[in-house]
């Protein structure tokens, strides 16, 4: 197992590719746009997903939505056209699990297998190996690609049957949304109360009220610098909609999550989708995030 084919070399895929190469894997990559970064890092660029599958021992994909996953796997030049029997495809996109299941079944018909392995963490967490991968699917397939999972980025956990990886990410992102909205309200309250915001940050960082989001996004909210965005709202929002479907499917009332999602929905309606999730601070405060886009 030396050649890993990566489809999707964006903010998450490219640092994953670098991590793999640093661990001794050869990487063949495909992106709809040019990818000089991969060549510069020592990888090989393929002309299509089919060309990636023809050369790789293991496949990995991380793309924006279900349509993209369908196209790269089942399309005219998709991986299924050249898939070698026994190839395991690590699919890391966060999409509706029913759609991903159908794509997995298509891969199995060709003699391969596809795993549901979403990754939890911002792009900035991938390179230093701080992101977590939730691997789900056939255990034998997971074990077959264990060295690749070890190399992707930080810790990974086997969550069980196919689809449990996505559901685990729903839990993580439900908390992400709630914690971000709560941190925004707390920062606005501190600001309007006339408190020293740096002192507030330092004090809460070491208190029972702290969260990873407070520590990471609190300084961003304090300075109101939303761009460039390590985690844009447009990336999070489709996952929030999947969470809505999931909780509706189990009949669970989630008033706190619903309130938090409303804050993000309003931010998107205001045209802030490309800004960092921390900009919901301005949804709470009534300010315009568009007036403070760039980091100083």
Q: Which residues are catalytic?
A: 169
Q: How far is CA 143 from the centre of its chain?
A: 23
Residue partners of 137: CB distance under 8 A and separation at least 6? 104, 113, 114, 115, 116, 117, 161, 162, 165
Distance CA(92)–CA(13), nearest Å, equals 9
**DSSP assignments along 248-283, one per residue:** HHTT---HHHHHHHHHHHHHHHTT-TTSBGGGHHHH
Terminal CA-to-CA distance of the chain, rounded, Å?
45
Residue 223 three-state SS: helix
With CA atoms as reference, report the closest residue to 100 among 8, 22, 167, 162.
162
Angle between helices 255-269 and 233-249 (to 10 degrees): 150
């Amino acid at each position: 197992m030396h050649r890993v084919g990566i489809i999707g070399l964006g903010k998450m895929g490219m640092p994953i590719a670098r991590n793999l190469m640093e661990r001794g894997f050869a990487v063949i990559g495909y992106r709809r746009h040019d990818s000089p970064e991969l060549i510069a890092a020592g990888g090989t660029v393929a002309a299509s997903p089919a060309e990636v599958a023809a050369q790789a021992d293991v496949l990995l994909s991380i793309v924006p939505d279900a349509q993209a996953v369908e196209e790269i796997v089942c399309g005219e030049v998709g991986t299924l056209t050249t898939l070698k029997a026994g190839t395991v495809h690590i699919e890391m996109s966060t999409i509706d699990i029913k759609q991903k299941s159908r794509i997995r079944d298509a891969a199995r018909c060709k003699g391969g297998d596809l795993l549901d392995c979403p990754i939890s963490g911002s792009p900035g967490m991938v390179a230093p190996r701080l992101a977590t991968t939730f691997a789900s699917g056939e255990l034998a397939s997971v074990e077959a690609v264990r060295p690749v999972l070890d190399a992707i980025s930080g810790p990974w956990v086997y969550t069980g049957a196919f689809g449990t990886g996505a559901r685990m990410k729903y839990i993580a992102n439900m908390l992400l949304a709630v914690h971000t909205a709560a941190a925004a309200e707390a920062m606005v309250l501190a600001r309007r109360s006339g408190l020293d915001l740096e002192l507030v940050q330092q004090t809460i960082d070491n208190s029972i009220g702290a969260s990873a989001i407070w520590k990471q996004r609190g300084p961003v909210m304090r300075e109101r610098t939303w761009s460039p965005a390590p985690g844009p709202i447009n990336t999070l929002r489709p996952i929030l909609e999947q969470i809505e479907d999931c909780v509706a499917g189990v009949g669970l009332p989630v008033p706190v999550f619903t309130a938090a999602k409303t804050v993000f929905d309003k931010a998107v309606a205001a045209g802030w989708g490309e800004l960092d999730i921390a900009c919901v601070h301005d949804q709470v405060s009534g300010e315009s995030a568009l007036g403070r886009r760039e980091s100083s």
